[in-house]
Amino acid sequence: MTQPTDSLTTSSQTAPEAADHGPRRNDIVRNPLGFGRETVESIIIALTMALLFRAFQAEAFVIPTGSMAPTLMGRHKDLDCSECGFNFQAGASREEDDQSQTFRTELSRLTSKVTDLRRLADDTAAGPQQREVARQQLADLEAPDGKLAMLKLRLAGKMVASATCPNCGNLMKLIDGQGPGVQYDARYPSYSGDRILVDKFAYDFTDPQRWDVVVFKYPEDADTNYIKRLVGLPGETVSIAGGDIWTSREGAAPTIARKPPAVMRAMLQTVHDSDHPAAVLQREGWPAAWIDWTDPAADATRWQAGDQRRRFTTTCPAGASASLRFRHISPSATDWKEARLGLGLRQGVRPTAVDDFQAYNAIHSTGHWVGDLAVSCRLESRAASGRVTIDLVDGGKRHRCEFDLATGRADLTAADGTTSQAKTSVRGCGAWQVLVANVDDELRLFVDGAYRPAATPVVWETPLAVAAAATPRLTPVTPGDDQSSDLAPVGITVTGTDSSAEVQVSALKVLRDGYYIGAVGVGLRGEIRDEPILSFPLESDQFFVLGDNSAASKDGRLWIDVHYVDRRLLVGRAMVIFWPHMVPAAWHLTVKLPVFGELQLPSWPNFARMRSIR
């Protein structure tokens, strides 16, 4: 776990970007323009920004680090996986941290000294002894183990050498060369952090709310601004256990803190995306993530895969069913090397439980199992009736959402039997974007981007100690098994009712909730030392804050003097990302603007990432 400098800077203090960073001819750059709802949101955000500036209610800040990733990006690389094309980000804040700046200052000084010494060594007007001394000093500085080489080597160590795709496990090399002469591959530029607007008067009239993203004065240095998510309120005892937040008051038993639907969706992170298959792995017979779960020996209805397993279709006669399940099978660097060499599939490939791997972080932490999962897909029905059941397994317990295609009713059922219904548009023939989530001990449903609340919330209560000790059920399962296992944690089952049901699912995404680590320190090798339960009492006007990127955030868990933020230190609530990094043309000029910092022109505004902060 790293200990980054999480301080915010105002937009006029942005660190410069190298002028040669940007896409080159023949590079693939994903379209930065959003359409539909995203475009409308961008326009509304721009108008809101103008009005707030006019009223002097907002101030612009630049995100310097990745402690709030992926919600907010510090300096980073925006990458499309070279194997599957999945877009993800890798943090690059260490390129511009205090140590890197010190190294660059010293390198600039030594470079100037080398120039002066070379000039003196070649100056015929200088005395022989002076010239000889200059040559000797020059040789010492430029030696393979000299100060100049060592300094360049240290700077090279601050570069982000590689990044791992969270979708297919491909390790992307981001540098060329080695040693002091190492350089970044020009296809993978680094971009400055998101520029955000902060409502400075948000808490003058209302109290801060749990899950707000807040800017505050760092308690250990009031001259420095930090940004984190507020998770604990005055008078509570806040606990971190099982990746979730728990709260209690006045000695009562702790209860889990549930995120509002919009915040929950914003914090979900992709584990698998069927729209981005890795052709090399498919060619070499790597096990598919989504497979038909029918017993191979049975004469039964099955799912048929199409378009490189991007979509799956089944037709179930009345009374027949077909199941599709997801397994998390992530190839290692060795697996990728052998696949590229055409050596086929190694023996012993097994699925694993989903963990809290964060592609944004250069240093990998020890994985923590994540049971809070969600699945989204495009669900298309080509018949008037039928039943579609989506299930999620958490610690061996199965939660379900069942759609009746004849009526549009959805039955949400927790593993403990708690059940409720929701009215939806998933009825008859048609296509819908569906998301089912088991997060914070609550089962939720979204259809076409809108939250569909059940008549009564489908929630269950888990004691804190039980949640802290929870482990995944790693029972090996194969197609045909009906056991609940965290090695096959997501399923989709279609059943024919009065007549045949014909269903196609596509754009399948498995997502996970953010995972808060009960960190108490960092080991000598950068590994996190954590406790199963970590608690913090709060008094009047004290708030507890955490970074969304729990493995790389210096927050209330690890501050030395205090663990809370006093109300008087709150600066305001983060509202919108009003200016994410732009996408520069292959050729460009670098200019400096007073509000937006250093820009590369011509570039395209990244409207798709201009959005409200949740």
Mean pLDDT of the chain: 88
| pLDDT value of position 2 | 44
Condensed to tens digits (0 to 9), the pLDDT of residues 399-453 reads 999 999 999 999 999 999 999 999 999 999 999 999 999 999 999 999 999 999 9
Length of the chain: 614
> ∠540-546-548 over CA atoms, to 5°?
150
Which amino acid would we find at residue 252? A
- CATH fit for domain 9-74+192-256+520-612, picks 2.10.109.10, 3.30.390.30, 1.10.3470.10, 3.40.50.300: 2.10.109.10
Condensed to tens digits (0 to 9), the pLDDT of residues 562-608 reads 999 999 999 999 999 998 987 776 666 666 666 555 566 777 778 88
What token pair was written down for 377?
């897909």
Report, as ranges of residue numbers, the positions in the chain whose pLDDT lies below 50.
Answer: 1-4, 12-36, 54
What token pair was written down for 146?
């000299």
Helix residue spans in 318-474 (DSSP H): 333-340, 464-469
- Expressed in percent and rounded to 5, the helix, strand and coil fractions of the chain are 20, 35, 45
| pLDDT value of position 576 | 94
| pLDDT value of position 24 | 41
- In sign, the C-alpha dihedral spanning 110, 113, 118, 119 is positive
CA atoms in the 13 A half-sphere facing the CB of 149:
11
How far apart are the C-alpha atoms of 316 and 132, rounded to whole Å? 89
Which amino acid would we find at residue 368? H
Compute how many other C-beta atoms are within 10 angstroms of the C-beta atom of residue 104: 15
Residues 6+ apart with CB under 8 A from 126: 120, 134
Which amino acid would we find at residue 204? D
Of the candidates 6, 556, 555, the residue with the CA atom closest to the CA atom of residue 226? 6
Say which CATH architecture domain 269-512 belongs to: Sandwich (2.60)
How far apart are the C-alpha atoms of 380 and 492, rounded to whole Å? 13
How far apart are the C-alpha atoms of 446 and 444, rounded to whole Å? 7
Strand partners, 472: none
Of the candidates 239, 266, 255, the residue with the CA atom closest to the CA atom of residue 441? 255
Whether a cis peptide bond, with omega within 30° of 0, leads into 64 is no
Give residue for tokens 């002091």.
180
Q: What secondary structure, in 3-state letters, does 580-599 show?
A: CCCEEEEEEEEEEECCCEEE
Main-chain phi, psi angles of 357, to 5 degrees: -50, 135
pTM for the model stands at 0.86
Residue 387 near residue 495 (C-beta atoms within 8 A):
yes
Residues 6+ apart with CB under 8 A from 143: 149
User: What distance separates the 2 farthest-apart alpha carbons in the chain?
Assistant: 104
